[in-house]
């Protein structure tokens, strides 16, 4: 019997024993192809020897020094690496231990920034329906994921929600892609005017949505309009790249492909590729100097921020990606994966949409392709797919929901950037068989 308080105590989980490249092996020797990187984390695969070497070297030097007493070289070097490749306005990096912590820091920084400027009424945040920004109280409040919010609703700040840029479900018949993007971006202006722009700190969203609807990029022009609206009303734009950042979509930062610069960008998962827990908040020079010239101190912090071993691991991960030109592989392998998924699953009557960017691909399952009617949530198709895939030796990240605002069943694929032809074939073969098996029993 286990004394671990597992997240789902009823689940019988295999014990992970070792990893090698894109594979994980359990204690019985069974092999699993990690086609989701856990949840878009393991972008280098497992047991990368250069990352392990960098971590060992750092531990042999100094394993921990508190950021209130010392800076450390890996933290300095990692900040330098990230800023040199980021949109030009992002100039400072604040390190934390994960995605929710990075989002919390962004929310508090936005509030403190306006306080320093004397704009004390700015306390509100705006986000999008069906969004997820983390599980701590502030980050959870900032998300529009109803089933996650519901049990804690009395504890959460209220956040006006606008439509996501979710073409498959939100675009109207006859509307052009451009008009659709401008319309849903325009909802931000309406929400700002309803809330009173003088009360709003920031708008937060994911440049490519991951956790709630399986890899949904925005249409062209959407983020340019979002940026314009934020500028017009003096509201900050926070890009949550916890999942879609660090090369996952084919560019180091996902916003690069939108040609806009956020005021704050948060990232985590792929930053340390799972070798260490680490997250980061990149901040514009304007926000940083306002704090420095104001109170001189960001009133926030955590014990493990800028952890030397975590920073050394992340630095080694990012150098490995760059030195091996893995972003080109993400673009090339991503296109190959999307094509193979479409050819294997495109005609399946329960597959409504296949979409994504780079090695961040999503499949949406529906009861009816014509009406886009979601599958009955009580069937828990996403959960059945997860179990059947694990039995077949494949890790994918299915998700689904039962409360309004969270529509349908989705499967997210986020394999490591090192995958080859054979791995793509294995992912598509196994996933295709699992989907056929699970939805095959449903009346079509």
- Judged by the rule CB under 6 A, the positions of this chain that interact with ligand PLP are 39, 98-100, 103, 132-134, 206, 210-211, 240, 242-243, 268
- Tell me whether residue 72 or residue 100 sits nearer to ligand PLP (CB atom): 100
- Tell me whether residue 39 or residue 388 sits nearer to ligand PLP (CB atom): 39
- Nearest distance in Å: CB 97, ligand PLP: 8
Strand ranges of the sheet holding 31-34, from the earlier edge strand across to the other edge: 16-20, 23-26, 31-34, 394-395
CA dist 330 and 250 (Å) reads: 5
- Tell me whether residue 143 or residue 416 sits nearer to ligand PLP (CB atom): 143
Burial 131-151 (b: 16+ CB within 10 A, else e): bbbbebebbbbbbbbbebbee
User: Rg for the chain (alpha carbons), in Å?
Assistant: 21
- Nearest distance in Å: CB 226, ligand PLP: 16
- Nearest distance in Å: CB 350, ligand PLP: 25
CA dist 125 and 241 (Å) reads: 17
- Tell me whether residue 48 or residue 100 sits nearer to ligand PLP (CB atom): 100
- Nearest distance in Å: CB 366, ligand PLP: 23
- Nearest distance in Å: CB 242, ligand PLP: 4
- Nearest distance in Å: CB 397, ligand PLP: 10
- Tell me whether residue 249 or residue 336 sits nearer to ligand PLP (CB atom): 249
- Nearest distance in Å: CB 270, ligand PLP: 11
- Nearest distance in Å: CB 158, ligand PLP: 20
CA dist 283 and 113 (Å) reads: 11
CA dist 198 and 121 (Å) reads: 6
- Tell me whether residue 280 or residue 419 sits nearer to ligand PLP (CB atom): 280
- Tell me whether residue 206 or residue 409 sits nearer to ligand PLP (CB atom): 206
- Tell me whether residue 359 or residue 438 sits nearer to ligand PLP (CB atom): 359
- Nearest distance in Å: CB 114, ligand PLP: 23
Q: 111 and 201 in contact (C-beta within 8 Å)?
A: yes
Residue 170 main-chain phi, psi, to 5 deg: -100, -20
- Nearest distance in Å: CB 328, ligand PLP: 25
Calculate the alpha carbon distances from 22 to 45, 89, 357, 394, 440 in Å: 5, 35, 20, 11, 29
- Nearest distance in Å: CB 265, ligand PLP: 12
- Nearest distance in Å: CB 166, ligand PLP: 15
Burial 64-77 (b: 16+ CB within 10 A, else e): eeebeeeebebbeb
- Tell me whether residue 135 or residue 195 sits nearer to ligand PLP (CB atom): 135
- Tell me whether residue 197 or residue 277 sits nearer to ligand PLP (CB atom): 277
Residue 372 main-chain phi, psi, to 5 deg: 65, 20
Q: 431 and 389 in contact (C-beta within 8 Å)?
A: yes
The Cβ-side half-sphere exposure at 108, using a 13 Å CA radius, reads: 16
Residue nearest to ligand PLP (CB): 99
Quote the Cα angle for 352-38-56, to 5°: 155
Residue 122 burial (C-beta neighbours within 10 Å; 0-12, 13-18, 19+): buried
CA dist 347 and 241 (Å) reads: 32
How many angstroms separate the most distant Cα atoms in the chain?
Answer: 65
CA dist 48 and 62 (Å) reads: 21
CA dist 241 and 203 (Å) reads: 14
Residue with tokens 């895939």: 389
- Tell me whether residue 189 or residue 258 sits nearer to ligand PLP (CB atom): 258
- Tell me whether residue 134 or residue 197 sits nearer to ligand PLP (CB atom): 134
Calculate the alpha carbon distances from 427 to 232, 341, 431, 432, 433 in Å: 46, 9, 6, 8, 10
């Amino acid at each position: 019997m286990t004394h671990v308080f597992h997240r789902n105590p009823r689940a019988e989980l295999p014990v992970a024993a070792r990893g090698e490249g894109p594979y994980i092996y359990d204690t019985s020797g069974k092999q699993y192809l990690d086609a989701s990187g856990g949840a878009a984390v393991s972008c280098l695969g497992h047991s990368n020897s250069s990352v392990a070497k960098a971590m060992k070297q750092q531990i042999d030097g100094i394993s921990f020094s508190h950021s209130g007493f010392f800076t450390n070289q890996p933290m300095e070097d990692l900040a330098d690496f990230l800023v040199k490749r980021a949109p030009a306005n992002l100039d400072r990096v604040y390190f934390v231990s994960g995605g929710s912590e990075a989002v919390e820091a962004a929310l508090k920084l936005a509030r403190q920034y306006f306080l320093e400027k004397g704009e004390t009424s700015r306390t509100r945040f705006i986000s999008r329906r069906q969004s997820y920004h983390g599980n701590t109280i502030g980050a959870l409040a900032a998300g529009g994921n109803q089933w996650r919010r519901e049990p804690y609703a009395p504890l959460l700040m209220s956040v006006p929600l606008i439509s996501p840029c979710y073409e498959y479900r939100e675009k109207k018949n006859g509307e052009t892609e451009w008009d659709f993007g401008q319309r849903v971006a325009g909802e931000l202006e309406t929400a700002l005017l309803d809330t009173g722009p003088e009360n709003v700190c920031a708008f937060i969203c994911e440049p490519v949505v991951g956790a709630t609807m399986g890899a949904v990029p925005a249409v062209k022009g959407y983020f340019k309009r979002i940026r314009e609206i934020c500028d017009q009303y003096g509201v900050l734009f926070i890009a949550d790249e916890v999942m879609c950042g660090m090369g996952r979509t084919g560019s180091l930062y996902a916003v690069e492909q939108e040609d806009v610069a956020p005021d704050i960008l948060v990232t985590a998962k792929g930053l340390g590729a799972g070798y260490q827990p680490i997250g980061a908040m990149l901040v514009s020079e304007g926000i940083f100097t306002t704090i420095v010239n104001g109170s001189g101190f960001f009133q926030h912090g955590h014990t493990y921020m800028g952890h030397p071993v975590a920073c050394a691991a992340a630095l080694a991960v990012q150098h490995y990606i760059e030195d091996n030109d893995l972003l080109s592989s993400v673009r090339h392998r991503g296109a190959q994966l999307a094509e193979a998924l479409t050819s294997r699953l495109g005609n399946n009557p329960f597959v409504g949409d296949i979409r994504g960017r780079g090695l961040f691909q999503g499949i949406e399952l529906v009861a009816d392709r014509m009406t886009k009617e979601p599958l009955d949530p009580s069937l828990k198709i996403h959960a059945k797919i997860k179990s059947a895939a694990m039995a077949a030796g494949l890790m994918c990240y299915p998700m689904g929901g039962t409360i309004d605002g969270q529509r349908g069943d989705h499967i997210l694929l986020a394999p490591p950037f090192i995958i080859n032809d054979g791995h793509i074939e294995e992912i598509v073969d196994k996933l295709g068989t699992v989907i056929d098996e699970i939805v095959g029993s449903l009346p079509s």
